Structure 1
Amino acid sequence: MKKILFITVCLISSMFQLASAQTDSELLQQKLAKFTTIDADFVQQVINPKGEVIQKSLGTLAIARPGNFHWQVTQPDEELIVSDGQDMWLYSPFIEQVTIMNFSDAIAGTPFALLSGADSAQWAQFNVVKKDQQFIVKSSDPKASTNTFIFIFNKADNISEFVVQESQGQKSVFTLSNNKNNSTFAKDFFEFKIPNGIEIDDQR
């Protein structure tokens, strides 16, 4: 009787541990879900397979989940990417052109799809492996992009860096700083009013 009771307790304990255990994907989703907004400065470095920095840019990043996105490059050349969750505007003042795209199509297969508030169906398309403070994300679709995404969190559990590693070895490293939690944005901050005289390339 005691043996049967012991086995029963062990089985119940094992079942409870399995039920309560989180996958790495669920853990990453939980970490990202803590932030209703991301509001930070960024430095982007493009590094070639030899480890050489071949491009560097500075700017600000604002995300209000789900879907609202504001990416402002200030150096070396000004660029602005804005989305209201439905449309995305890519504005280049230098060439006086704005490209309009469907937001979900534009960010598909990129880390911004996860940062901006992916749904369960989108998360199901990725495999996630946790290694220390890093979460390594790869597409589970063999026909999709072979890029690897890496999300890195600091001790305060804020996103400090994310990386896009291309299959050919080149990578883009985005380092965040001055990250302010749960910022409040103006109602029209995630809308873009096209200036007069600007060429429009509508790809929706």
Structure 2
Amino acid sequence: MQKKQMFATFAAMLALGIGSAHAGAIDALKKFNADADGISGSFTQTVKSKKKTQTTNGTFQILRPGLFKWQYTSPYKQTIVGDGKTIWLYDVDLAQVTKSSQDQTIGDSPAAILSNKSALDSSYSLKEDGSAGGIDYVRALPKKNNAGYQYIRIGFKGDALAAMQLKDSFGNETTIRFNNVNMKPNLARSAFSFTPPKGVDVLSN
């Protein structure tokens, strides 16, 4: 997966930290956006494009405001860390680290929901979006035409975060299934610092 697509997909994932979705799912979503401090768990991600389908697995940790760690464990190993100022992408196989400004990388993407509590109302229109397979969905539509995303669907099974679906402006579809979700993880800010390993190339994006 190319670096730009990786950042875009990751930014979309950061919209995941959102509450219960029974009747009144939007109210629960807004309540979580106002109250939640952290979330952690594991995931399976499938990206479907016109040419191929790729599935990856890993774990994630988020601590508000603006700290996150996303680790892909198979079929390749990559780590993405946001320390509040810089996003670091460490590709183990390539022995390469790419760093980007966190504000510029996130911009008006769904990741802004993580970093800025006002982004939910300012950047997205929300509506209830039905149920499928026992999962209840909320659909978030970007208010700006150049957001890069057609829509995001966030799904819950009971009170548990269960799935997320994203379709970007190129027609690529990303589906994420969540497991072992902890809405009150005991996370330390120090866990979100990153120092490039010795011997790797460090590039600025």
Deviation at 1:40, TM superposition (A): 0.5
The count of corresponding residues between Structure 1 and Structure 2 is: 177
Work out the percentage of aligned pairs sharing the same amino acid: 24
Are residues 1:174 and 2:176 paired? yes
Q: Which amino acid aligns with 2:94?
A: I
Contact kept? 2:112, 2:119, Cα under 8 Å: no
Q: Structure 2: how far apart are the matches of 1:121 and 1:187?
A: 22
Q: CA RMSD in A?
A: 2.3
Unmatched segments (≥5 aa) in structure 1? 1-22
- When normalised by structure 2's length, the TM-score is 0.76
Question: Could you say which residue in structure 2 is the equivalent of 1:104?
Answer: 103
Q: Structure 1: how far apart are the matches of 2:52 and 2:137?
A: 22
Change (3 A) 1:146 1:111: closer
Question: Could you say which residue in structure 1 is the equivalent of 2:126?
Answer: 128
Contact kept? 1:136, 1:151, Cα under 8 Å: yes
Partner SS for 1:185: coil
Q: Which residue, 150, 162, 166 being the options, matches 1:164?
A: 166
Q: Structure 1: how far apart are the matches of 2:30 and 2:126?
A: 10
Question: Could you say which residue in structure 1 is the equivalent of 2:157?
Answer: 154
Partner SS for 1:56: strand
Q: Structure 2: how far apart are the matches of 1:27 and 1:180?
A: 17
Q: Structure 1: how far apart are the matches of 2:105 and 2:178?
A: 22
Unmatched segments (≥5 aa) in structure 2? 1-23, 131-135
- When normalised by structure 1's length, the TM-score is 0.77
Q: Structure 2: how far apart are the matches of 1:82 and 1:171?
A: 23
What are the within-5 Å matches in structure 2 for residues 46-85 of structure 1? Answer: 46-48=47-49, 54-85=53-84
Q: Structure 2: how far apart are the matches of 1:103 and 1:85?
A: 7
Deviation at 1:177, TM superposition (A): 0.2
Contact kept? 2:38, 2:187, Cα under 8 Å: no
What are the within-5 Å matches in structure 2 for residues 83-102 of structure 1? Answer: 83-102=82-101
Deviation at 1:138, TM superposition (A): 1.5
| Bigger CA radius of gyration | 1
Contact kept? 1:42, 1:59, Cα under 8 Å: yes
Q: Which amino acid aligns with 1:61?
A: F
Question: Could you say which residue in structure 2 is the equivalent of 1:44?
Answer: 45
Deviation at 1:26, TM superposition (A): 5.3
Change (3 A) 1:154 1:108: farther
Contact kept? 2:45, 2:57, Cα under 8 Å: yes
Deviation at 1:178, TM superposition (A): 0.6
Partner SS for 1:149: strand
